């Protein structure tokens, strides 16, 4: 039978210690990667919810800037107000220390949705009207690449459109279809 000497036990103990250190490092690295991925998902979810808020509350397209305008809380767009409220919950530690980082990341996503909407509108103005139109939206109501809004025509007392009005609507639709990016 094989004899186990003290040297063998010492060697096995060293080997066990090295393996346990490697396992501990792998667990720590996995936890760090998991925390980063989960944080990214939380920010992404916040941005998604902000987009849903913007889409569900969208009222109209601003004729000056070309941006979609949604519901507001005073002068503040709904998704930005929701983001500020959620960030306040996190920053003031209202929901407790355990939930604060999660709430902060979700609120950051809501604010990111607002920034994305603004960035998209800027890029669209730049694409269709040039950089000057993008930088000064209040001066360029209709970008050159987009058809100008049709002037309001007089409506008959009965509310039915006249043949001239219908022809104007058809022409506006044709211009819009012709200028649409393909």
What is the tens place of the pLDDT at every residue in 126-138?
888 888 888 887 6
Question: Is the residue at 115 inside a domain?
Answer: yes
Residue 70 has a CB neighbour count (10 Å cut-off) of: 19
Note if the pTM is more than 0.75.
no
**Whole-angstrom distance, CA of residue 75 vs CA of residue 57:** 14
**Whole-angstrom distance, CA of residue 84 vs CA of residue 121:** 21
* Same-domain check for residues 92 and 140: yes
Contact 104, 37 (CB under 8 A): no
Structural domain of residue 91, as residue ranges?
16-146
* Same-domain check for residues 59 and 120: yes
Contact 26, 32 (CB under 8 A): no
pLDDT band at 155 (very low <50, low <70, confident <90, very high): very low
Contact 84, 115 (CB under 8 A): no
* Same-domain check for residues 107 and 117: yes
Count of domains observed in the chain: 2
* Same-domain check for residues 104 and 180: no
Question: Is the residue at 36 inside a domain?
Answer: yes
Percent of the chain at pLDDT > 70 equals 81
């Amino acid at each position: 039978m094989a004899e186990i000497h003290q040297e063998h036990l010492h060697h096995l103990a060293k080997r066990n210690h090295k393996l346990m250190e490697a396992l501990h490092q792998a667990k720590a690295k996995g936890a760090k990667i998991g925390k980063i991925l989960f944080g990214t998902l939380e920010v992404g979810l916040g941005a998604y919810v902000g987009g849903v808020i913007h889409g569900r509350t969208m009222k109209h397209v601003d004729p000056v800037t070309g941006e979609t305008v949604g519901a507001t809380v005073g002068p503040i767009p709904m998704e930005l107000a929701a983001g500020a409220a959620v960030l306040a919950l996190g920053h003031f530690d209202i929901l407790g220390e355990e939930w604060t980082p999660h709430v902060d990341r979700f609120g950051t996503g809501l604010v990111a949705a607002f920034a994305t909407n603004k960035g998209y509108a800027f890029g669209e103005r730049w694409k269709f009207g040039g950089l000057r139109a993008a930088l000064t939206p209040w001066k360029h109501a209709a970008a050159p690449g987009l058809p100008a809004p049709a002037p309001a025509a007089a409506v008959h007392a009965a509310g039915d459109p006249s043949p001239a009005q219908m022809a104007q609507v058809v022409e506006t639709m044709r211009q819009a279809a012709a200028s649409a990016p393909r």
